[in-house]
Amino acid sequence: MGIRVPDGYLEVAYRHSLVGDAEEMLVTQGFKIFDIPSNIATFAGQVADLWVTHILPNIGAEYTFKGVHLAFGPDGQGIRFSLERTQASTNALQPLPQNTAVLVRKNTGLGGRRNRGRMYIPGVPEGSVSSSGALFVAYQTEFQSDVNNWQAANIALIDIEFHALFHATPDDTSTGVPVPQPAIAPSAVTSMTVQSKVATQRRRLRP
């Protein structure tokens, strides 16, 4: 498999736990960075704070934000850094089962399936969705505003240039021997759209 996160880029995993579920749930986002931050711990704290401020209030009760894991490119060689955090959601509404999520589309302005990304944000509050799985307009509108503000606040950080969508590059197996292929340049995410219906991830519903 070729390099997915090239040099000059960063992938952040936002970690969440749920009461009664032993495994964490991750939401990931890529970024183009100007340079490696001079103080990575401080930078990680800023990234975590923005998630807590803009995204966590939309996640239902019994969820806790556990911090962030930073993986700087290139894959397998860049700096790795984890920041622990214990911040319970302030949303009073009980969440739907953990395999149900708010789907956020990552828009690049480029054609083709490769240039469309998505995030699954867990913890959809029960009182924010209809029996048919449609988000109530008020909740969707508020969440969209928060996602917009979160994206703008990330870009305002001195080390981040823009949000990025990474592309996996499959090996060439035509000869029977896997041969890694050159990395495909990440696409710039120009906007994000909160979808009107919830999405599901089966692997998040565990025994």
The pLDDT > 70 percentage for the chain reads 92
Residues of the chain with pLDDT > 90, as a percent, come to 77
User: 138 falls in which pLDDT band (50, 70, 90)?
Assistant: very high
The domain of 168 spans 9-204
Question: In this predicted structure, what is the pLDDT of residue 56?
Answer: 98
Output DSSP code: residue 61: T
Whether 4 maps to a domain, the answer reads no
Chain-wide mean pLDDT for the chain?
A: 91
Query: Is 167 inside a domain boundary?
Result: yes
> In the prediction, which pLDDT does 109 show?
79
In this structure, of 94-103, 121-130, 162-171, the range with the lowest mean pLDDT score is 162-171
- Residue 3 lies inside a defined structural domain of this protein: no
DSSP 144-173: HHHHHHHHHHHHHSTTEEEEEE------B-
pLDDT tens, residue by residue, 45-63: 999 999 999 999 999 999 9
- Listed range (14-23, 49-58, 126-135, 162-171) with the worst mean pLDDT: 162-171
pTM score: 0.91
Phi, psi of 165 (to 5 degrees): -110, 120
CA-angle at 102, arms to 117 and 198, nearest 5°: 105
Task: Supply the pLDDT for residue 116.
Answer: 80
| Surface-to-core class of residue 116, CB atoms within 10 Å of its CB (0-12 exposed, 13-18 middle, 19+ buried) | middle
pLDDT digits (tens, 9 = 90+) for 13-38: 999 999 999 899 999 999 999 999 99
The whole-angstrom separation of Cα 21 and Cα 195 is: 26
Based on the structure, what is the number of domains in the chain? Answer: 1
61, part of any domain: yes
pLDDT (tens digit per residue) in 97-107:
999 999 999 99
